[in-house]
Amino acid sequence: MPTARGSISRMLALSISLAGLAATPAIAAINPDDAARVFDEAKVICNRDAGALWGHTLCGPMLLVDPADRSAVANQADAGGVLKASGPVFIGVLPPSEIMANTSIQWSGTRWSEILWPLPENTEKRHVMIAHESFHRIQPDLKMVLHEGDNRHLDTLEGRYLLQLEWRALAKALNATTSADRKVAIGDALLFRSERYRIFPNAAEGEGALESNEGVAEYTGVRLGLPTPKARISYAIGDLSAFVEVPSFVRSFAYATGPAYGLMLDQADPDWRRKLASGQRLDQLLSAALKLPSPAFATLKAREAIYDDGTLRTHEVKREQAKIAHMAALKAKLVDGPVLTLPLKHSNYQFNPQTLQPLGDLGIVYPTMRLTDEWGALDVDGDALVNQEKKVANVSAAGFDPSKLKGAGWSLTLNKGWIVVPGTRKGDVIVQKVEDPGH
């Protein structure tokens, strides 16, 4: 999925029937020659590895998609025959039913590495992205398709603070010139992480799940996308500082920790990747490989002072105060005020993971997203609240125009057989099936 080095662009649906897609080749907005060069770069990366890292080649179907018009260029034909040959590439249009994101998708009988166009101009960033998304495509073959955990604690004051201390210690470890200094810094990183897990009992499971998915994918991107150990270390250190700037760590943190832990595990235990199947987290694997003692919580304040002179905590306290006010405004807009509620059953999401805002037990706020389900599609550029436990999504119904199915910051496209009806509270509306007598 997207990282701080390449977030999702704006998304527009294209009005074209699926029948038309099958019959008429698209005129690719993506220059086929430029796409072919990307495919050549991907081939160099996967051939250089030759399947050594994971025991499985990263070479395979790749689909480049322009989010402005959904035009697509692929490196091979699709099993369903929708894409049409155009020189060395294949062109078409990705239907509105499919998500547009840096990820892997199953479409038209083929599993693809999907990458949004344009790719980064910087060669290192582009190659890391190519290898990252190629890994996502082979995850099912590696039996590494994982459920991503709930990491809302990383939007709290202490959760964010301890994570950034861990990042600083990891950067120090990566920069270390001796194995002794590296081991001390790794011990500090694991101390800060252990304190986070002590404060938030469910944090270990949630963080471990995301690191085993996006963290390992980003490690793969760095390890295979870059040709030298020096370049990999430099890139991993850059990630540990770059992700400090993203609005939320909830789903982005693993892009920073994954390469750091993975590269240090390469040195400490070259066989570590085979041990992922045991369910051990990256931090557990590194601690075991280095035979580190249990965290000494009594030393926490002293070790903390090495990485923060007080300015980091001051910054995080100010951020927390601003966040509390912002959360109150979001609750007023998406919970207390009139809302449009949509049921979630077979949902696909398209979003920027760096912007998500937890709203306590009420769910996660997506400032921008495209949400599809059996009822149709919701396009949001002004906040939506998703509650996975209740299987519903809310947007503000203030200013809702039933004739256009639009509200403040969102628009709705309904499939046949679905309607909008009044909710139980004044001003609320609900999407439901026509034959549903519930309201």
Sign of CA dihedral 305, 310, 311, 313: positive
- pTM to 2 decimal places: 0.79
For the CA atoms of 120, 123, 127, 128, what is the dihedral angle to 10 degrees?
-70
Q: Is pLDDT of 432 > 60? A: yes
3-state SS class at 374: coil
How far, CA to CA in Å, does 354 sit from each of 2, 3, 255, 357?
Answer: 8, 7, 11, 9
The string over 177-192, giving b where at least 16 C-beta atoms fall within 10 Å of a residue's C-beta and e elsewhere, is eeeeebbbbbbbbbbb
Mean pLDDT value across residues 1-10: 36
The first and second tokens of residue 50, run together, are: 């030759």
3-state SS class at 412: strand
Mean pLDDT value across residues 380-396: 96
Cα 310 from Cα 327, distance rounded (Å): 26
Strand pairing partners for 372? 348, 377
For residue 355, the model assigns a pLDDT of 86
Q: Is pLDDT of 178 > 90? A: yes
Distance between first and last Cα of the chain: 38
The first and second tokens of residue 187, run together, are: 């011990």
Under a CB-based contact definition with an 8 Å cutoff, are residues 406 and 400 in contact? yes
Encode pLDDT of 54-85 as tens digits: 999 999 999 999 998 999 999 999 999 999 99
Encode pLDDT of 131-171 as tens digits: 999 999 999 999 887 677 789 999 999 999 999 999 999 99
For the CA atoms of 71, 68, 245, 217, what is the dihedral angle to 10 degrees?
-10
Please give the share of the chain, as a percent, with pLDDT higher than 90. Answer: 82
The first and second tokens of residue 5, run together, are: 């080095």
For residue 307, the model assigns a pLDDT of 98
Mean pLDDT value across residues 390-406: 95
Q: Is pLDDT of 26 > 60? A: no
For residue 283, the model assigns a pLDDT of 98
pLDDT band for 436, please (50, 70, 90 cuts).
Answer: low
Helices within 291-349 (DSSP H only): 300-307, 311-331
Q: Tokens 């019959």, residue?
A: 23
Q: Is pLDDT of 322 > 80? A: yes
